Structure 1
């Protein structure tokens, strides 16, 4: 049993997804490291640094079913070295003539940073796919509710009419920027590390640069211009990106938490039969999916902060920030995968109560039309004077418990026809529906 929730058989479904957990648990990490050692040996044989038969033997034996993880752990503790336990366990199963050639000239960071490149690539694949799924669900909402009028709110207070489609379009636009960011950063972060002791590659002599290229090609990763032993901006950028993605999902979730409150009641999470909101209050239906998106995002932001600390590194190798990434990167990747899966479920199953949205809007009377009312009056007295007069009328109407429109008519500032025209939500929507159309036009498959 593990103490980390991503490994929990009880709670793991809240913190990870199977494909990323399988990549990042002990077996997955060891499988990745062995893949790297096989690729390194093959590349070294290709450029003439080790015998071909040694590379073939390493490829045959460097498999998780040939290496005992318990033994690797014991060797790691006994030596105090991050990979010597694995090296010794692997050497024990290799033919004698191949034992000296495994891990030839490489360092811990060559293996682990290259593994980071593989992890970031695999995670980027999941993020790209699932961002598309979240986006597709938001696109469906935006199209379906292009004209669904609701109360727009600022500072958690009613402001003026918008449409729910406009709200969803803002989500889509943000997601699209994340998709663009991901495409731009992938070539920077999906790279190998082959640096040797200090980043000068001196162990491998004049064939070192050819080796780096061959190594990268075999792993389908990029070959960086320089080693990045203490240049940790790649990891920091990737975790910063994951923090941005989960931050957007948390914003969407928080919005749904608020709109699902019974006092507002404009949207609802999908509910699976048998889901219990409270063990003491049976009537409760909690916004579990929406709320959890914020929880996940908070931890990913913390992990991104750890990665940013790693930018401050000492000399040509510094284990402090780099080893902290061993915890932060796998955790952030898994939490992001979980957040995307939850967000997809949330938006695909979201219920929207258009009638409640309109009722909530209408319940505020003419007050949410204060801007078009002010514009109508401004044509006669000027904008700033109109603001002062409508403001005074609004405060008086609130104190007296009457409608703003009635108050403006009673003061002779506007006619009933002008108030009725201003209260038409279409007068206050501005470009909301046009913005929805602009976002939806990005999708060539929409009919």
Structure 2
């Protein structure tokens, strides 16, 4: 009898070690012995391992910004057994706020990174300063100086440094396609509005998914409320030394009952998706791509909300602004000066990149270099929200055709 019990315990433990994904939230309560659940190797895999799992080669490069941040970026140059000298168009995927390059691999074979690698693009997965794929030549991650940045530094330092590496390796400056999501779009707007020559020399076009710049109408009341206290929050955070917020706690979303709680909270704050596959992807969504949030980034966005949507540089206060900008108010980013075409793609139920704010971005871009698209179209879904650009259940029907339209136009030019 004792041997039988030990055998059952061993069997259940082995099954539990294998099962990490279920099709519904209820199934997670019985994941140990539920035949509907299964093992997804991507949940515990690294970026190179995930890429290799789908039959592609993986390369990584370290780039160093002018202010000393060392950032690791990843490349999907070809299939594992592919031997070809064919020149491929480089495509950079730049993640959003509190996430990293792993976001673009969450859907596995249907993910943007793998999908466009299959279509023959030279896919690059960017990371920003502050992710676990970054360090500094002088400061450790525990130093307050390490976290003294906003999306401004990402746009002026990280983005051009990454683009230069892609241009150098691919030998295709001027032919690079930049696809950003959320804060990844903000960084591109900063980069191209302040470094016009560099942008025009290296980029072919920008595709902005869930674009974020002039927050004003976003439907998250808590963010509007907190924006009124940005000065007080900055003072408190600076003097307390709380400069970042870790997101490792999201790993709790991999188990019941938290899979359903996390999914519900996510949809409450950033929009409902119908249909969605949150039960199936919650383990990998919570295991991959979450990274420490630099609170100066949040404060910068808060300043924009407080100023009724003025997309401008960081506000250090009148005295410091005079020293830094020679003005009591920070200068605005000139979106009309962006020298390449920008396609804005936003979701119909996104509470973060909300329609009126996206339309405001569109109105500020150059009339001859702008396109705006709302998804879904043609009944391909009912509701799409902020993360659906890398988590949508039917991403191949709702998003890729819109991106492909832009890419095909470029090919036919």
Could you say which TM-score interval applies, normalised by the shorter chain?
Answer: under 0.3
Larger gyration radius, structure 1 or structure 2: 1
Whichever structure has more helix as a proportion of its residues is 1
